[in-house]
């Protein structure tokens, strides 16, 4: 108990009171709108992140890092230790060298894409509708409509497990479909440099609008979800496999396979994380029975 009090005192010296919340419901911090409480939820500025990580290490407290909460399912029992949300407090964009953006990890992709468009810089249109933060998008090499983060990344500044801050060029990041070196090695993305191309702002915004229309038509944006629930198996589309297995609209409690797009699991209002987890499990079983294909979750599963 005394150790916890010491930890809280030291955390209080590092962060302002409004940056620390105890027993904070994580349903408020994920796009699925489910998940139990974080023992401590902290929202550091970019420069405070290494100190928070070092403090957790010193007190041997579990540390979970989240961004915009858009690609994860957190258990109803919540998460013990510290949940560090790299969000608004760690956001910022600088335009450098005319065609490069330097983007802090907590910046929303939509904000970065809009800033690029405003400066007549093309290449981020695909990211405008992805509801994630820059750091999380780089870690999972997020993509949509034929574009991926690896197409525009030139380098990232990371915090290693040893507490070192390094700049890694994109070619060292092992970026592939929904995968990166940071995912394997537990490194934290602090800042990202992307290289874009000069173009007419009106043309860029027209492309963004076109992609937005496609999303609205095809995706169940009216319900809480975590985007594509399963990774695309090689040679297949997850949504088509789920539909072919007769699972369009399939429900467990208030968790449902979207009738609009079978690749999405949605929360119809009062789903629990357990409902969503059970639904995902049933989908995996039935798709394997029907087509022999194993579906792998794209969402991060935390606390199960």
Catalytic pick among 24, 125, 191, 298? 298
- Does pLDDT of 285 surpass 90? yes
pLDDT number for residue 1 = 66
Q: What percent of the chain has pLDDT over 90?
A: 95
User: Which whole number is the average pLDDT over 240-264?
Assistant: 98
Predicted confidence band of residue 2 (pLDDT cuts 50, 70, 90) = confident
172 among known catalytic residues: no
All residues at 6 or more sequence positions from 169 whose CB lies less than 8 Å from its CB, including other chains: 154, 155
Q: What is the largest CA-CA distance in the chain?
A: 60
Catalytic pick among 27, 110, 225, 228? 228
298 among known catalytic residues: yes
Predicted confidence band of residue 161 (pLDDT cuts 50, 70, 90) = confident
Instruction: Specify the pTM.
Output: 0.94
- Does pLDDT of 126 surpass 70? yes
- Does pLDDT of 193 surpass 80? yes
Catalytic pick among 178, 180, 191, 193? 178
Give CA–CA dist 148/138, Å, rounded.
9
168, 180 Cβ separation under 8 angstroms: no
Angle formed at CA 226 by CA 224 and CA 229, multiple of 5 degrees: 125
CA 249, 250, 252, 256 dihedral sign is: negative
178 among known catalytic residues: yes
Predicted confidence band of residue 172 (pLDDT cuts 50, 70, 90) = very high
Q: How many CA atoms lie within 13 A of 210 on its CB side?
A: 9
């Amino acid at each position: 108990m005394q150790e916890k009090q010491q930890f809280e005192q030291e955390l209080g010296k590092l962060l302002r009171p409004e940056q620390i919340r105890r027993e904070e419901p994580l349903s408020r911090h994920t796009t699925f709108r489910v998940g139990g409480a974080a023992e401590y939820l902290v929202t550091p500025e970019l420069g405070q992140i290494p100190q928070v990580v070092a403090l957790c290490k010193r007190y041997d407290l579990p540390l979970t890092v989240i961004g915009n909460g858009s690609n994860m399912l957190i258990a109803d029992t919540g998460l013990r230790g510290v949940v560090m949300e790299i969000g608004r407090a760690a956001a910022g964009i600088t335009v450098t060298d005319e065609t490069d953006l330097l983007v802090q990890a907590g910046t929303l992709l939509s904000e970065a894409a809009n800033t690029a468009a405003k400066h007549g810089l093309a290449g981020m249109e695909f990211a405008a509708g992805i509801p994630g933060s820059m750091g999380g998008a780089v870690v999972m090499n997020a993509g949509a409509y034929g574009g991926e983060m690896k197409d525009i990344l030139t380098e990232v500044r990371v915090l290693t497990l040893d507490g070192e801050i390094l700049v890694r060029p994109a070619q060292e990041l092992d970026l592939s479909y929904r995968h990166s070196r940071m995912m394997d090695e537990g490194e934290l993305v602090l800042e990202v440099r992307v290289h874009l191309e000069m173009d007419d702002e009106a043309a860029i915004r027209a492309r963004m609008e076109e992609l937005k229309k496609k999303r609205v038509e095809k995706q169940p944006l009216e319900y809480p979800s975590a985007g594509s629930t399963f990774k695309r198996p090689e040679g297949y589309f997850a949504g088509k496999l789920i539909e072919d297995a007769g699972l369009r609209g399939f429900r467990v409690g208030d968790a449902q396979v979207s009738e609009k797009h079978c690749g999405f699991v949605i929360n119809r209002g009062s789903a629990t994380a357990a409902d969503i987890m059970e639904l995902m499990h049933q989908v995996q079983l039935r798709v394997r029975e029907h087509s022999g294909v194993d579906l792998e979750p794209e969402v991060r599963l935390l606390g199960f």
